[in-house]
Amino acid sequence: MKLALLLGGKPVFKSPIYVTKPVLPSMEQFVERIKLIFKTGILTNSGPFSVELEKTITKYLGVSDCALLCNGTIALQLALSSYRLSGEIITTPFTFPATVHVIALNQITPVFCDIDSDTYNIDVRQIENLITTKTTAILPVHVYGVPCDVEAIDIIAKRHGLRVIYDAAPAFGVQYKGRSIGNFGDASMFSFHGTKIFSTFEGGALVSSDDYFMQRVRILRNFGIISETEVISLGINGKINEIQCAFGLATLDLIKDEIAKRKYLYNKYTNGLKNLPGLYFQKIPKDIEQNYQYFSIRINKEEYGLNRDELTLVLREENIFPRKYYYPLCSQYPIYKGLPFSKPDILPVATNVTENILCLPLYGILSPEIVDIIIEIIHQAHKDRDKILKILNK
């Protein structure tokens, strides 16, 4: 095959291939429910669809309880305020901005812990070094939906009396040892943003088996109101609306099939790329049922011949738009850069991963033929590495 970058034009794909596409329900099933909204006139405030979706997700995931919220970020923020956390929270720099922002928005100091070089999740061997008298919680992320070492985190948290709130935003449907990943830690947040495997346009959920915590979340998401005349705490408007829940109810049945399709493509990528030098894949620990939210490659320039950004340029010329999740590290944002645990030399693994990671297109309706072509391009770019570098460095 001939690369567009070398020929100067003519991408292999006429229309852009993005990193993800949402699962859409049948329009009829969605419209049926919208008709009911028009009949009842109930648009929001824990209407029938949101109550139904909370029950359905609780059962679907096999968790104790689920509270829906307007998005995952507000959900996470309310989790911290529901537990009245303060002081310092240990988290990962290799994540989406929301994880760290909710800590700072609660007037808490984020303390960054380096990540594991195989799974890209928080490095459990380093957490205890970061615990001080001010630490109140650990906020790990299940990176790309792949579970953290939940057992080790549990032991550390118990030993030091810390809360564990998981950012499980990309981990909907993921299981560890046959149980939903939402059953670990004190609470977990799932995101239902349009880019996530299960979406409600925007939306999110907190799941927990702590009844008092869940009760507080439900009060906090509604301004702290408990009755017509009583506002008991510093709440916010975190409510999900009925049209979002109608969409979610019509979509949930499709998720198992979506995961199966993604699994096929994920394995295709892995098999198609594994023999190339310098490409590394996220390691999946034992006993995990994945949801295949993302497929990432980590590129070693010395071995592959091109670095992450150079390969990205090659792919873009072909109308393929991979994404650098997560780059830059949160610890490099101007607002967090000055913190004591933000220096790149104490976060060597995260600093390396963020520079070399790339997520390739992966979604259920992506055709296997397209994946084959993407694989072929990545092979061709390796073969043509010297020519490509010549053109890029001109």
Ligand X SMILES: *Cc1c(COP(=O)(O)O)cnc(C)c1O
For residue 50, the surrounding DSSP H or E stretch is: helix 48-61
Least Cβ distance, residue 97 to ligand X (angstroms): 8
| Residue 121 near ligand X by CB under 6 A | no
CA dist 316 and 163 (Å) reads 43
DSSP string, 193-239: -TTSSS--SS-EEEE-S-HHHHHHHHHHTBTTEEETTEE-S---B--
Binding mask 225-264 for ligand X (x = CB under 6 A): ----------------------------------------
Cβ–Cβ under 8 Å, residues 363 and 323: no
Determine if 99 is a binding residue for ligand X (CB under 6 A): yes
Is 72 a binding residue for ligand X by CB under 6 A? The answer is yes
Residue 167 interacts with ligand X (CB under 6 A): yes or no: yes
CB of 69 vs ligand X, minimal distance in Å: 9
Helix, strand or coil, per DSSP, at residue 17: strand
Which helix (H) or strand (E) element contains residue 179? Answer: strand 179-180
204 in Cβ contact with 73 (< 8 Å): yes
CA geometry: angle 217, 222, 224, nearest 5 deg: 75
Nearer to ligand X among residue 185 and residue 204 (C-beta): 204
Instruction: Find the residue with minimal CB distance to ligand X.
Output: 72
If the CB atoms of residues 77 and 175 are measured against ligand X, the closer one turns out to be 77
Is 287 exposed, middle or buried (CB count within 10 Å of its CB: 0-12, 13-18, 19+)? exposed
Residue with smaller CB distance to ligand X, 75 or 378: 75
Residues 375 and 146: beta-carbon distance below 8 Å: no
Compare residues 262 and 382 and give the one whose CB is closer to ligand X.
262
Closest to ligand X by CB, 3 or 67: 67
Which stretch, 65-73, 219-227, 329-337, 363-371, contacts ligand X (CB under 6 A)?
Answer: 65-73
Nearest to ligand X of 37, 141 (CB atom): 141
Question: CA-CA distance, 254 to 62, in Å (whole number)?
Answer: 17
| Contact residues for 323 (Cβ-Cβ < 8 A; gap 6+) | 19, 358, 359
The stretch among 18-26, 53-61, 66-74, 253-261 that binds ligand X (CB under 6 A) is: 66-74
Residue choice 33, 101, 163, 193 for contact with ligand X (CB under 6 A):
193
Q: Which residues bind ligand X (CB under 6 A)?
A: 71-73, 95-96, 98-99, 141, 167, 169-170, 191, 193, 204
